[in-house]
Structure 1
């Protein structure tokens, strides 16, 4: 069953299944047809997100257990709603070994464990566990207690018959070795999720492992509790297409989606049995529509984006992912310089994965662009790297996704900061905005090829929320004023990294007003992710003090605080216009729209964990009740206008889905035609304002009109009635910067 819409809820211990059930009536009133949940399987103790699954054979007891899930499903069914579930096939959490029965067994019994086949481990040596602290004699803290080895609060099982003697000697007898935490990136011998040693990769390509790790999820599906499955990070799997085919066979009527990040010009493999992606591609298109492409020259960068991305990927491949590169290189002992060649090829590779043989062209382009010094090694490796069945090629494909994610999203994306509204997951920072015609072409293609894909504007992984990006988009309409403002602020609160300063000042005005601690936390994370002057594994106090001083100046310096507040206020209304416009476009364009928790009102969240803060649903209920009583709210700081928009569109999609069966551009004529984005979905016409600041400076809509055919239409947001064939945009948008028109 394909949903009409979804609402993403971060179900977690502080918003468990029982609490989620209490929200069903609100979500139904909002117009949502399917609750879209974070992972529900057994997760690490205290997990705040659920992606560190430790026991895939049961529901997470921290969320309320099976009875609580049953109650939630009953509430959903009674409301005519369904459940879409996030699943994590790529890895299991191993940070707390005693919480993960399979991992505990592997530590205890080594390769003889019945679960050894679950994990991708190189057993040429003991299993490396990078957990020891930096103290010189860390192993002196080992203790043997019963049949366990203890290191402070960490617990590890002892192999049978190995418990006698000195703790160090006992440690040497185990199937694992505890080593300093810094050695993990270079010495780890189990495949992991990206560079996270606490998440061990799972071999779901093995049918027995697939069955064992998916039995509970598929039982829920068979019982009718789950309507759709969202597959986390398929690029990390050995055989994504094979995995998805097996999943589709076992859940034949489920709405299947993949968290797949597509590069510029890249399409989802057409042979995947899925409805589409989780919407990062749509996010980039919609957000870009509200950025002025003509302003690109006013936001220069010191180096091309491709160069920054290459350097970021190369850096993580030689540091964070060195163990993975070394393991792959060992598969080609006949090529002594295999590791540097693999690093260079991964750094040049332009997308997440090649999906051989389909992506052989991109792999060839990366080889041809490689540094000449590694070409002899690459030429020697090429027959194997380009062979879809070769172990070297299979593992290299798993590597490139991790290199891309860590090197681009989490490194270059924090260093290359000319316009951070575009520095988003799955985004293309080098593509400065999107024209109306480019958007129409993308939407037409989506309607033709992926009409049931998900669309979104915010997720638990986005670097900044949709409303922050909407406000930042206004800066593309006022580049000179923005450059002058940043120059003044930077002179008063200097930072020895101008690129990071650009990121932080954009963040300040994009998220203002924001609490000091939230901004401090974000700034520290951004500085460490950029890894130019400070890093997660080697914090530099002096530099981080300077970052903190920049943040504090926004609160403690009366002049700076006043200027920041005044500037943010000066672009707020235009930001609200953009936010309403992009939300209308996302909710009405081809695909299944998702609303991330809380974003039916203004939301100024930044990167996780900031975007996973608790949501005030009571306030949203109250405002929705007022709207349903006839209140037509102003566009102001309450965000009620956005709630009006979201609820009316979602209800229309639920109650009259036939109105959303096609896609046809509706073009404007007149002086301000370039400020309109409009399209007809087959009975409902969406109209939104673009570039509102420039529009206002030019005097408004003037003679701009839209040509529609048929009977009178009503704007479901305001109730206003209009007669085709020519509609004055100034009349349509006299109350709100958006309109949703249906036949009267």
Structure 2
């Protein structure tokens, strides 16, 4: 969708968004109090995390238990309406994150739909809402402790109280007529539409579809029109009543029919819609989807990649191999995906395999069929195909699977023919739904923690096999975005990223000094290693990228990373001794004073060039094509790691104090405070809101420092010429080593008027050379490593 849609409250496409994470500590009323600050910052829309009723104690809202009500913990519908009214009065739009794919069933007594299903089974009025195989028998609920007895001992703890089956703090319903006073509790349990089973049985035996391998998130069948209506009635009312102007759709790949869902949603919600969707480097959204675009991981990959020096690849690859860390990205991915398909998602694979018809010889061995399904799920080069529209992706996956496993070709051929005959059939739908889960769990959640050669590349939507990118490649991507999806979202940090934009900016500096990093890691690892090579390499890079970091945060991150990698410990089989060595690591580092001083010294050398990278990538994102999203708190330096670290409370009062000083005329230096970043964010967002830039013209510097300049120009409202130019510095250490900008010049778009740097307020006096208007970069970038130039 490239047209600019409107709503009664103004443009449905915001100029920018600011993501606010709501929870008990930051309610809708608290978010309302932030709106004036956001408007002064230049933000176009407040973008809220899910607001529907979530499981008790949720700190993020993605575990919805009641889609019909705005969370009372957040303030309820009244508070949402009040926020909307205040936002619209200030000229801000309101965007809300929605979660159509799943609901939380962790607390059955909190989810009325799931409670009714457990109580009445397939006769429940809500049975059609969840993707449950009722023919397989009672619904397994994998919650029992298991010390090798299959959970039998834990069943002895079941009780009946107040007409409910009780297991510790878990309350479950009893089907009508299944309980009388004096009945044995285990007999009563056997009469229910569900069975409490060992937690170990979930991955292989669940009979309801999940979100990834999370047993307590049950998939919702929004492809059923009645279920869509019931689960979206509240959401759609926001659009009809002008409360909400835009929606961000979470995990669209998990849906049975993403295109059909989005068409139904857009028909009934007249506003801006973007989807959380990971695109492969050469992939585009299906043209039939009536949405503005994605949530911007493609832009993250492209923008951050241009600040990485590709020349570092040989040295960092050699270090990883010497360290014993795998470097074949494709092989790492395949192994990780294989584990996801064969183990973590075996229940889903078995359900798919049961749908495969007998192949040519009439046999249909379950084990062979499961192997073929798992192999196919591991073979996609995109997260999922969308049949019949994206048939080439399907064809490539079948071909890759058959080439890797010639012995499975008969079954793969049968699957292929069946799917092509019925591209909307159940077999096709389930394979497509599950392929995205396998890729996400295998690549993002496992492989990215195993192949730790250079972790700046191991980001959601990233491609670790592609070591950085060129300025020309970024310009090509930006031109494509402006031409085809000018209203898509762009981002650098989200609640799902593995590390914040500022951590990645520091890590990018390491690509300029790969030999120094390699020498340091060799020395440090010899003295205080982490207990597994991939984790060790990740640990040193994390320490440098997030320095200084509190012990508790670092340990929590490393234990999560180790469990995700599953090389020395895991979520389901934690190794206490292995994890104790992680917990003691920060103390051991400090005890080695010489080593600790070395780490600190190297981290200090990364700060200034890291700040330069942070400002550069932020300027490119905020004023480039698309709708830029600013994750909460990142208007100052933010060195957060993967969730839940990136959901820590934000000091909005500190940001308000700096904003007031900048509004009063302060041009802050680039230093520890991060005020320079806030100054840049305010400058870019206000320019975007006031000038409405369009178009995209790459600007190519000339001179010995030309490869360090990243610049482009855009047309502004009321001026048919390119009158806004953005200049950023890349590879700042290498530039400094070469003597700086020297006589490097940047050709600017010709036309009448004077250029002013909005960051400093200074006029820029370009020269006329050979018919071109050029500016000396040594002058333009003498105060900040970025410039935002406007021709009056």
TM-score, length-normalised on structure 2?
0.92
Do the aligned residues in 1 keep the contact of 2:530 with 2:539 (CA within 8 Å)? no
Match of 1:267 among 284, 288, 300: 284
SS in 2 for 1:55: strand
Corresponding residue of 1:87:
98
User: Shift of residue 333 of structure 1?
Assistant: 5.4
Residue number in structure 2 paired with 1:329: 353
- Confirm whether residue 249 of structure 1 aligns to residue 283 of structure 2: no
1:544 to partner: Cα distance: 1.3
Q: CA RMSD in A?
A: 1.1
Please name the residue that 2:5 is paired with.
none
Cα offsets for 1:231-275 (capped at 9, x unmatched):
0011110000000000000012x1000000001211111110000
Superposed CA deviations along residues 115-151 of structure 1, whole A, max 9, x for unmatched, are 0000000012111111111254111111111321000
Of 672-681 and 703-712, deviating more is 703-712
Residue 175 of structure 2 is matched in structure 1 by 159
Deviation at 1:378, TM superposition (A): 1.0
The 2-side partners of 1:551 and 1:414 are apart by 20
Contact 2:295 2:490 in 1 (8 A): yes
Which runs of structure 2 are paired with 1:19-38 in the superposition (5 Å)?
19-38=30-49
Q: Give 1:289-304 correspondences, 5 Å limit.
A: 289-300=306-317, 302-304=326-328
Match of 1:462 in 2: 497
Q: Deviations over 1:96-122 (max 9, x none)?
A: 001000000000000000000000000
Q: Are positions 1:673 and 2:691 aligned together?
A: no
What is aligned with 1:485? 520
The worse-fitting range, judged by mean Cα deviation, of 297-306 and 428-437 is 297-306
Aligned residue runs from structure 1 range 92-491, under 5 A? 92-124=103-135, 125-134=137-146, 136=149, 137-164=153-180, 165-252=183-270, 254-300=271-317, 302-332=326-356, 334=358, 335-336=364-365, 337-370=368-401, 371-386=405-420, 387-491=422-526
Distance (whole Å) between structure 2 residues aligned to residue 178 and residue 333 of structure 1: 32
Check whether the contact 2:528–2:589 (CA below 8 A) recurs between aligned residues.
Answer: no
Which shows bigger deviation, 553-562 or 673-682?
553-562
Q: Aligned equivalents of 1:169 and 1:295: distance in 2?
A: 65
Q: Does 1:713 align with 2:742?
A: no
Distance (whole Å) between structure 1 residues aligned to residue 627 and residue 656 of structure 2:
24
Shift of 1:68: 1.5
Q: Residue 587 of structure 1 aligns with which residue?
A: 622
Segments of 5+ residues of structure 1 without an aligned counterpart are none
Q: How far apart, CA to CA, are the structure 1 residues paired with 2:737 and 2:327? A: 33
- Can you list the C-alpha shifts for 1:271-295, whole angstroms capped at 9, x where unaligned? 1000000000000001001001222
Report the Cα offset of residue 565 of structure 1. Answer: 1.3
1:689 to 718, 721, 729: 729
Q: Does 1:47 align with 2:77?
A: no
Partners of 2:400 and 2:371 in 1: CA distance: 15
1:67 Cα deviation after fit: 2.0
C-alpha contact 1:465 1:605 (8 A) present in aligned 2: yes
Cα displacement (A) at 1:362: 2.3
Instruction: Give the CA deviation at 1:498.
Output: 1.3
- The SS at the match of 2:73 is helix
- 1:361 Cα offset (Å): 2.1
Unpaired segments of 5 or more residues in structure 2?
1-11, 321-325, 359-363, 716-722, 767-772
Answer whether contact 2:487 2:627 (CA < 8 A) is retained: yes
Deviation per residue, 1:330-372 (Å, 9 max, x gap):
1125232210001111111111111012332222222222222
Question: Using the alignment, how far apart are the partners of 2:565 and 2:427 within structure 1?
Answer: 31
Q: Distance in 2 between matches of 1:679 and 1:268?
A: 26
Q: Which residue pairs with 2:789 in the alignment?
A: 741
1:533 is paired with a residue of what secondary structure? Answer: coil
Would you say the 8 A contact 2:23–2:59 is kept in 1?
Answer: yes
- Bigger drift between 617-626 and 706-715 goes to 706-715
Within 2, Cα distance between the matches of 1:119 and 1:180?
22
Whether the 8 Å contact between 1:385 and 1:396 is mirrored in structure 2 is no
Matched, 1:74 2:85: yes
Partner of 1:516: 551
Contact 1:105 1:115 in 2 (8 A): yes
Q: Distance in 2 between matches of 1:633 and 1:567?
A: 25
Tell me the secondary structure at the aligned position of residue 62 of structure 1: coil
CA distances 1:288-316 after superposition (whole Å, capped 9, x unpaired): 01001222222215442111111110011
Distance 2:258 2:400 in 1: 27
**Matched position secondary structure for 1:319:** helix
Shift of 1:162: 0.6
Q: Which whole-Å CA distance do the structure 2 matches of 1:323 and 1:531 have between them?
A: 20
Q: Distance in 1 between matches of 2:54 and 2:478?
A: 38
Assess if the C-alpha contact under 8 Å between 1:316 and 1:407 holds in 2. Answer: yes
TM-score if structure 1 supplies the norm length?
A: 0.98
- Residue number in structure 2 paired with 1:702: 742
* Alpha-carbon distance, 1:384 to partner: 1.3
**Retained in 1: the 8 A contact 2:327–2:453?**
no
Stretch deviating more after TM superposition (325-334 or 1-10):
325-334
- The structural deviation recorded for 1:556 is 3.5
Alignment partner of 1:739: what SS? Answer: strand
Query: How big is each residue's C-alpha offset from its partner over 1:456-504, in whole Å with a ceiling of 9 and x where there is no partner?
Result: 1000000000000000000110010000011111001123421111111
Partners of 2:476 and 2:311 lie apart in 1 by: 19
Task: Report how many residues are paired.
Answer: 741
The match for 1:563 is 598
Q: Deviations over 1:187-209 (max 9, x none)?
A: 00000111111100000000000
Q: Secondary structure at the match of 2:507?
A: helix
